[in-house]
Structure 1
Amino acid sequence: MNKETLIIQSEDKEGLKKAAEILKKGGLVAIPTETVYGLGANALDEDAAKNIFKAKGRPQDNPLIVHISDIDQLKDLVSEIPEGAYVLMEKFWPGPLTLIMKKSDKISDVITAGLDTVAIRMPSHPVAREIIELANLPIAAPSANISGRPSPTDASHVIEDLVGRVDAIVDGGRTGVGVESTVVDISSGIPTILRPGGITEEDLLVVFPRVDIDPALKGEDENLTPKSPGQKYKHYSPNAKIKIIKGELFSMINRINHLYREYTNQGLKVGILATEQSRWSYSCDNLIVVGDRGRPETIATNLFDSLREFDKMKVDMILAEGIEEIGIGKAIMNRMEKAAGFDVENL
């Protein structure tokens, strides 16, 4: 691919109109959302959707999320709206929550990877909403990165991965949440989390007495038919191998220091992904402080950017501290474990 990629600043109103026109004509536009940047195409245009997979190098059996700006758009996209979906939409839309519902005939199997369900969300980012409204179309948009790479939380990440592959990139600076949306299957019975994100299990339990967690979240299954993006394949990965150490903080520090010496003695260039609470506990030239354990949302915001920074350092191995899996901590550890290919040492 060797497209001429237009870079549009998010405050450029004429530029946003141009982005919407590109989408109407079947083109690809990367747009900022409150979670990560998305690579958008007309969700009702099968050829445009196919081009998303080509630009990203994305496996065809990995479904896409459709983004809308108005509830009224749902009627063209789903065949039925469960009662529970209305409750979730009322409380969490617009926002980082994706709902799985039975699809309508207007949605191509390319979008859903052949499933009879479709993933839909209404982003809260004003630029994303404005572009969707200007295009007057539902927009299919996975993360705007090369498939398998850390998701883009800054326009520079999108430019690094997709210039020459897409028609336009809308530069909205850094995103907020930093990890992709929570995906909840509401298509049958009990709400089930297929991918944790900014809306936490605890948030959902305020609305429903019971919320299930999809067992696929805790391991790789090559025979899995993914119902949600991020379920089947290794994702979010930098070039280096990642090993996660989980346990009590002091024990983690000791183990990481031991492994750092061991790998360094083998001639490997090693990076350490630390937190504010441990930053002075390591003697490492390639140390990145990802955030504060007491405010895990800071870790979520910085995680993917930190993984990309390790690529710039050209490290061979990353030793990463695990964090407590409460609230958004579940989403953070989900992304870290996927990036590490589930190489996790529990102390």
Structure 2
Amino acid sequence: MSRFLPEPSLPYTRQNKTAVLLLNLGTPEAPTAEAVKPYLREFLSDTRVVELPKLLWQPILHGLVLTLRPKKSAHAYQKVWLNEGSPLAVYTERQAALLADRLPNLIVRYAMTYGQPSVANVLAELKNEGVAQLLVIPLYPQYAASSSGAALDKVFEQILKQRNQMSVRTVARFYDDERYITAMKNHIEAFWSQNGRGQRLMLSFHGIPQKNHDEGDPYPDECYRTAELLAEALSLKENDYIVSFQSQFGKAKWIKPSTQVLFDELPGRGVAELDVFCPGFVSDCLETMEELAIEGREQFYAAGGRQFRYIPCLNTQPDWIETLASLAIRHLQGWCEPT
């Protein structure tokens, strides 16, 4: 048996197309424990995500985590599930469709690092369509080994299996991209114009273990730079906003300050009206809609807060789609004319 995947039957002269592949984390196919369990198994088995020795982690994963967490996670997903499906899947699919409309000369697809549509299946489809040049954009503005790195690993794993390998370019980060900053600025200002503005703007990013940063992961530095640029664009003073990190998992030390700890502490510091936005998430998902907009709101009010405004992610905002288009056009130079 060949170690390489079968090549398409297309003539070599027709294997000349260019594609853009958007990558996101992934999601279970239904808000049930039965659907969540295999998704969590795949996600938490990735050594990019949990950097523990397999002999130590796998018994914990299968003996404890996958026994208790699927039911709890399924309950959380049920709170935010849309008629069309998981919010992350719905918004990612819409972003890909809108980007395809914006770049009609290209093939645009999306895939998930974990779950469906898988990177393996999407790359096989692109191969059969004659794609020879591939631009990969993980939908994570700030690079982390556990997000962008894990997503790109999936692509490279498939490229290693191709006999006739595609040419590949990647956009590993865009945390300081001018259009991305402007898109967030316009979105937040429009929200404030319609809904009012609190005393403080919290910019909540997903967290990573402190050990990862100590060993060279640039993620927190890129988060702080994004926050600095966004605050500057919004004309915010140092005391007008705060950067925090959410979604801590396990007992390891994670980067601080913790979003959840701040929900408890801020009312006692005199911040009774809080606006929350997530610059590291370009699509609303479980971590934004349930962890912050529902659980975070309840926690803040229980601590004495009076007003909690969650500002949705960029999702399908036109400025965000233009940001994606500009990233693609810039990184496709020399390959094709995208528009």
TM-score in terms of structure 1 length: 0.29
- Give the helix-richer structure, 1 or 2: 2
The structure, 1 or 2, with the larger RCO (C-alpha pairs under 8 Å, 6+ apart) is 2
TM-score in terms of structure 2 length: 0.30
